Every structure is written in C-alpha cells, then in structure tokens.
Amino acid sequence: MPPRRATATVQDVCAAMEAIAPTWAAADWDNVGLLTGATDWPARRLLLTIDLTPAVADEAVARKADLVIAYHPPIFRAVKRFRPDMREQDGIAAELLSRRIAVYSPHTALDAAPGGTNDALAGLAGLIDLRPFKSAPAPAREYKLVTFVPAGALERVAEAVHDAGAGVIGDYTRCSYRLEGAGTFFGGDATNPARGRRGRLERVAETRFETVVPAARLGSVVAALRAAHPYEEPAFDIYRLVPQAPGGIGQGRIGRFETPIKLGTLARDLARRTKAAAPAVVGNSAARISRGFVCVGSAGTLPLEADDADCGPGDVVITGEIRHHDALKYERCGASAVALGHSTSERPVLKPLRKRLANALAGIDIDISRKDCDPFVAIK
C-alpha cells in the first residue's frame, strides 16, 4: 500500500495562498493573511467566500470546515475586545476561532495578483492585453550599507560587517566598494571624538565603504558596524534595493477590446455574466468603447491616476461601486463606467481560486459558500 498522505495544515494553505496572491502585493492599509487560528491546525476542508457573514459562519460549522478563506478581512481595524458576537464583523471571526476554524483573508493581495479578482472580472468583460494600473513594488530582499571610516580602521569595520552577513553577491563573499575622500565634523562640549578635538572644525581622511546586506541580516550588520567603528557616532546610510517585481502584479487592470463595443451592450453582458442585481451605468449607452479600466470593489479615482494612461473618451471603468462625485469626474473626463455592485464585481474570482487551490492542495475538500451573497437585492 502507498503511504498515507500526511494531513494538510493551515500552514500548507497559507503557503498555497502566498504563491497565488503574495501578501507583499497588498495595499499598505490592508489586513491580509492568516487572521485567526494556528498554522499547525489541520486543514482538511476549506470554505471560500467573499464576505464572512453569520450565515457563512453557520455554513462553515455545518460543513465542518477547518479554515475559511474570506476575501474581505473580517478583522480590519484595531480590536479592543475579541468576543464571539454574530452582530459584529470581528465577532464572527471570534466565533469561528472558538470552534477552531481558522480565517484567512487575501483581499487586495488577490486584487493585485495575476489571475486574481481584477483579472477574473476583466476576463468576463472580454478585455485582452491586460496590465496593472501601477505595478506593485516587490519587497526588499537586500539593502546597501554605506559608511565612512577613518584611516587605520577600515579593515576592522569591513571584517566585522562581513562576518555579520554583509557583502554576499551570488557565489562571491566580502564584496565591497571603497572610495577615498574627506569628512568634516565639529564636536560639541559633550563629545569625545576619536579623531581630532572637540570645539573646532576637523577634517579627517576617510574611506566611503559600501556593501550589500540581506534584509534578514540588516540588524546584525548594523550592530556589528557600531561595535567595530571607532567613531562615537558613526555616520552610515541604508538604501533599500528595489528588485524587479514579477510581471502582472499590481492594483487594477487596463486592457483593450479586440473590437470596440457599445457601452450598453457591455453593461448588459456583464450584468448577465456576474448576475448583478442592479448595475449602474455612467455615460451614453450608444458610446463606442475600445479600452477598459477594471478595478473590483470601489474604483474611486484610481483609473484616473493609472500610470501612462489618460482615462477619457472611448474608455470605460468597470468596477463594483462608484461614489457620486467620482461618477461626475468620469463624466467630465469623457469616460464611461459600469458599476456592478461591490461584492458582485469580486465574486467571479472564487471559482478560479478554488481550482488553483485544488491543484496546489491535493486531497483537501474545497467548497464555495452557498450562503455568500450580495446584500443588495433587485426590486421585482
């Protein structure tokens, strides 16, 4: 008999979600990742939802789910009390925690990710050649440390910071750049300069010393620098080295229609495909549209701030909801808009997300909530 597969854990699900929607790509104001639960808890059944409502929480309990992936984070602002209470958003998460059901939220990380919420809605609209409004900056994995060392102390400082983990480039170690120059300082009455005297302007021959530092070793390297440097107050700078972000990661999507389409036709097609209860349209339904700006949830003015793309005539903003004054701004720019409903614009991502998780987590039961629905209903 083949060996039994070890039970998957919450950590396995977190790793799969990180590969699909890296948390570093989320907006800086967001709260994403594992919100409640322990990483070593078993994860045999998952439930996917846009909103964690009391009905969805009851469904998770009834289905014996181990983890709920809720697109919108139920814990968003600072929590002063964390008690099971189905009337409060964070209280629902507390109720699930009391039943050992973990909660994970991807939110804007999934918006930014390739194949995420914005790509799913753009696909339903028929847009091609997609790119983000703005590319998400990848997290810094390295920094550059620059310091200034007087003659006679350079090798001691270099050895200290390199021993602490700096100066590694590929298979090379102890890499640095050195440039001769001069530094000046004027020490006050309370100082004890290692070179020169207090109370007068000093000029000291120094070497500008540069080296790269892994992000994980930055604290240790700075501590080593301070300990080895002869100055009472060593001068140093730390520069974040920004790596190239993987292509396609960023908020929003801009794309084109292979053939220009009438605004009214597009709005009707999207309403049918997303089952929007009450879509709203800004612009003339007969207007010919050639380009789309997709931003699930609430677009705000983001489409008007997209890099190298002036949103105007011939463009449509496809989103969930639009504030009155933003709609007026789109009108002034000559752009059109289709608002499908906040969660309605996000819900198309659940099926492809389920498929991707199933491929990454073989043997885990993954369901899409049947109780998750738009709070707004159409009047019949």
What pLDDT, in 10s, does the model give residues 149-188?
998 999 999 999 999 999 999 899 999 999 999 988 888 8
CATH fold, domain 114-136+248-340, is 3.40.1390
Same fold, 10-110+349-368 and 114-136+248-340: yes
Minimum mean pLDDT among 127-141, 203-217, 221-235, 284-298: which range?
127-141
The pTM (predicted TM-score) of the whole model is: 0.78
Sign of CA dihedral 322, 295, 253, 244: positive
Whether the per-residue pLDDT at 194 is higher than 80: the answer is: no
Pairing of β 280-282 and β 134-135: unpaired
CATH class of 10-110+349-368: alpha beta
Whether the per-residue pLDDT at 2 is higher than 60: the answer is: no
**C-alpha–C-alpha distance, residues 67 and 36, integer Å:** 9
Q: Which amino acid, one-letter code, is at 211? A: T
Q: What is the mean pLDDT of residues 234-251?
A: 83
List, for residues 310-351, the tens digit of each pLDDT value: 899 999 999 999 999 999 999 999 999 999 999 999 999 999
Q: What is the mean pLDDT of residues 47-54?
A: 96
**C-alpha–C-alpha distance, residues 292 and 372, integer Å:** 28
Note the pLDDT of residue 336: 96
Whether the per-residue pLDDT at 4 is higher than 60: the answer is: no
Minimum mean pLDDT among 17-21, 117-121, 240-244, 351-355: which range?
240-244
Q: How far is CA 134 from CA 17, 241, 301, 308, in A?
A: 22, 19, 13, 9
Domains in the chain: boundaries:
10-110+349-368, 114-136+248-340, 142-241
CATH number corresponding to 142-241: 3.30.70.120
Please answer whether residues 32 and 111 qualify as being in contact, where contact means their C-beta atoms are separated by less than 8 angstroms.
Answer: no
List, for residues 90-103, the tens digit of each pLDDT value: 888 888 899 999 99
pLDDT category of residue 247 using cuts at 50, 70 and 90: low
